[in-house]
Amino acid sequence: IMVANHQSHLDTLCLVSAIPLRNIHRAFPAAAADYFFKGLPSSAFSSIVVNGLPFKRQARGAESLVLCRELLRNKGNILIIFPEGTRTTDGSPGVFKPGIGLLCSGTDIPIIPCYLEGAYESLPKGAWFPKPSKLILHIGESRVYDDNDAGRETFQHIASDLEDAVFSLKPTLLNDS
């Protein structure tokens, strides 16, 4: 599972670009069903071009998490997920939702934290066309949560741990003065 902050519609393309070409058909970005799968044209594009996995956000995502687990039972499949649940509206980070903890708690599935920078500046929420901008993907060390027991507190702990892991990849500016 690749988890990342969610700045823009460019995020998925940036994450997919880090996957070896021979495995790209095994990458499944979780995509908001209410946004990317609401009509035939957008559903076809999301399914065929992006290999999107419809994720229902309204029903707390429980059904969608079951589908994600099924997908991950096939070794070699890659799930791309944005635990904030939606794109940022102002460039600031959002809080990771506990669904990511529910998904990976008690499993040996490797989770790879990723931090994206520059996508919000290029294509913020509401924009139709990207502006030229440098996009940088920072990839962290994988982690597993196989020794965690199921439970609401555990799910939130995993979400917080992954949130820290993702945002710790953000480069800090050095003050020269």
Is the pLDDT at 59 greater than 70, yes or no? no
- pLDDT one-digit tens code per residue, 63-122: 677 778 888 888 899 999 999 888 788 888 889 998 888 888 888 899 999 999 998 898
Percent share of the chain, pLDDT over 90 = 33
CA distances from 157 to 6, 45, 131 (A): 20, 35, 37
* Average pLDDT of the chain to the nearest whole number: 83
Residue whose pair of structure tokens reads 């039972």 in the numeric block: 73
Global pTM reads 0.82
Is the pLDDT at 138 greater than 70, yes or no? yes
